[in-house]
Every structure is written in C-alpha cells, then in structure tokens.
Amino acid sequence: MPSLIDLHSHSTISDGLLTPAELVAHAASKGVRVLALTDHDDTAGLAEAESTAVQHGIQLVYGVEISVTWRKRTLHIVGLKIDPEYAPLINGLAAIRAGRHTRAEGMAAGLEEIGIEGSLEGAYQYAKQGIISRTHFARFLVEKGFASDMRAVFKKYLVKGKPGYFEHQWADLEDVLGWIINSGGVAVLAHPGRYDLGRTNMLLLLEEFRNLGGAAIEVVTGSHTVDQYQEFAKLSRQFSLQASMGSDYHGPAHAYIEMGRLPDLPAGCVPVWQDWPEAEFLQAGLH
C-alpha cells in the first residue's frame, strides 16, 4: 500500500530533476493521490503541475518552500494551500530569488579562489528554468570531477566553512509567515531535524513559530531518521502543532526517499490535512 499523501516535493523550477509535469506523473505512478509541489522560493511550476494533476486524477496542493534566516541560521518554511497570485508573496519570493543570484556570484568567487573556474556559468547551465541553488553548483562540481557524488560535494565545498559557501541573509521568519498565512495558506516548519539548533533553541523556535501563526511541523520527511519521526511527533503534540509529511523528493538518484514510500504519521499526531476537502478520502479511510 503506497503512502497516498506527499506534501513536499521539487521540480526543475528549483533544484529537482523532473519538470513539474514529469514530477506529477511520477507521483501518480507511485500511487500518490494528494501532492504538494513546494519548489524553493518559486511558484512558477504550479500551473503546469495543476494541468498534469487533473489528467492523472491527483489533487495538487499549491506549495512553496521558503528560505528564512532565523537567529543567523537558515530554516525552510513550507507554505501549503498558498495563493500564488497574492502580491506580497510574489514580491517577497522575487526578492529572495534576486538575493540567490548575488549569493551565487559570491559562491563562484569563493570557488575561483581555490582555482575552480566557471562555476557560475556552470551552475546556471543546470538551473535553466528557475532559481539558482547550491544543488546546481553541486551538479556542476560533480560533473567536472571535483567530487564523486552529491553528499561528498556538499561536504567538501558547499557547507559552512568551505570555499563555495557564502554567508547569506534570507527572508525574515515573521515576514514569511505573513506572506503564507495572509495568502490563505498554512505554514509548516520543514524538516526540523535537519537544523543544528540544540534543544533550547529548538524549543524557542517552535514557540516563536507557533506564536507567529505557524500551523504544523514536518514529522515524517525524507530528511528525518526513524527516531526523529518519534521525536518530532512528540514535539508537535507538546506545542499543539499539527503534523505534516512529505518525501522532499528531488528526482531519481537524488539522496531523498522515493515517492509513495512514507510511513504513516506516528499515533497521536494531528495531520495538517485533517480539514482539507482534497484529502477528505484519507480521513474517511477510503483508500
């Protein structure tokens, strides 16, 4: 029995490998019935995804994964059921994308200092449709033989303290929650287990996130270990936050979980989709 709902995925509009149409077709082939496309800082794939979803009988949830700086750390906030026509959201995302370009220039300059030439153009070759990200630099560096795979290339060049890392100020948490919530959407803290926060800061973050109107945290995600499913299930209950689940799929041969293979939310979690008409058949148990 496949997992029927997947609320976190990427297409070629950000750093995924499949076009929005290919991604939706892939999800359908794996048995997914409710899918959110959540490209980084860009909603440009939603229209194409929607028309393919209709053909495949998939319920598409309009989503986006927004980059935030909170207390000098990068966080990702997933917006679900957003209105991609909402002007403050459009303008906010456009500003983040412009910042991504400046950051990419900084990354390329850092790589040039250690003798790696042409990485800006090289990365953009992989980012034809939408945003520029570290993933595109990673693909370029692997292609040129600077590292053997994605995991190794991030570790060697693209994380804090490495030559291709460039300190960047993303959007403000409060602003981002405002764009999402005022567009009619719900805000979800993406893969909380991936942030190296420590217990005290994690509790602070969850409290602040909830006080700013955040609705849910990802409990089951391709970025969490099985132990983290339980850990964040518990924290979601403790903070009265709903629970979300998504593969964070980026395409075949990428380091995340396959679609349709997610385990159920741990007992006691309130699913973020509990009142959604598009997921009603899940509540009714009509699998």
255 binds, among ligand AMP, Mn ion, none (CB under 5 to 8 A by kind): ligand AMP
Nearer to ligand AMP, 114 or 159 (CB): 159
Residue 268, sorted as left (phi over 0), alpha (psi -120 to 50) or beta, turns out to be left
88: tokens are 């403050």
Given 3-state DSSP classes, what are the helix, strand and coil percentages for the chain, each rounded to the nearest 5? Answer: 40, 15, 40
Closest listed residue to residue 244, CA positions, set 205, 210, 271? 271
**Measured between alpha carbons, how far is 80 from 242 in angstroms, rounded to an integer?**
13
Question: Minimum Å distance from CB 112 to ligand AMP?
Answer: 18
Question: Minimum Å distance from CB 130 to ligand AMP?
Answer: 12
Pairing relation of β-strands 34-37 and 5-6? parallel
Q: State the residue number with the nearest CB to ligand AMP.
A: 133
Nearer to Mn ion, 33 or 224 (CB): 224
What is the x/- site pattern for ligand AMP, positions 238-257, by CB under 6 A? Answer: ------------x----x--
Closest listed residue to residue 173, CA positions, set 196, 206, 203, 132? 206
Q: Is 115 helix (H, G, I), strand (E, B) or coil?
A: coil
Nearer to ligand AMP, 194 or 237 (CB): 194
Dihedral sign from CA coordinates of 162, 255, 226, 285: positive
* Position among 151, 169, 174, 230 found at the interface with ligand AMP (CB under 6 A): 151
134 binds, among ligand AMP, Mn ion, none (CB under 5 to 8 A by kind): ligand AMP
What is the x/- site pattern for Mn ion, positions 171-190, by CB under 5 A? Answer: -------------------x
Nearer to ligand AMP, 80 or 150 (CB): 150
Contact 44, 20 (CB under 8 A): no
132: tokens are 């520029």
15 binds Mn ion (CB under 5 A): yes
Q: What is the dihedral of CA 160, 232, 185, 28, to 10 degrees?
A: 90
Nearer to ligand AMP, 156 or 237 (CB): 156
39 binds Mn ion (CB under 5 A): no
Question: Minimum Å distance from CB 43 to ligand AMP?
Answer: 16
Question: Minimum Å distance from CB 154 to ligand AMP?
Answer: 4
Q: Give the list of residues 6+ apart from residue 25 with CB closer than 8 angstroms, or none.
A: 52, 56
How far is C-alpha 108 from the geometric centre of its chain's CA atoms? 24
Pairing relation of β-strands 73-80 and 59-70? antiparallel
Question: Minimum Å distance from CB 15 to ligand AMP?
Answer: 5
**Measured between alpha carbons, how far is 160 from 48 in angstroms, rounded to an integer?**
35
* Position among 3, 7, 9, 15 found at the interface with ligand AMP (CB under 6 A): 15
Number of residues that bind ligand AMP (CB under 6 A): 11
Considering only residues 24 to 63 of the shown chain, the ones binding ligand AMP according to CB under 6 A are 40
Q: Which residues contact Mn ion by CB under 5 A?
A: 15, 65, 76, 190, 248
Q: Which residues contact ligand AMP by CB under 6 A?
A: 15, 40, 67, 133-135, 150-151, 154, 250, 255
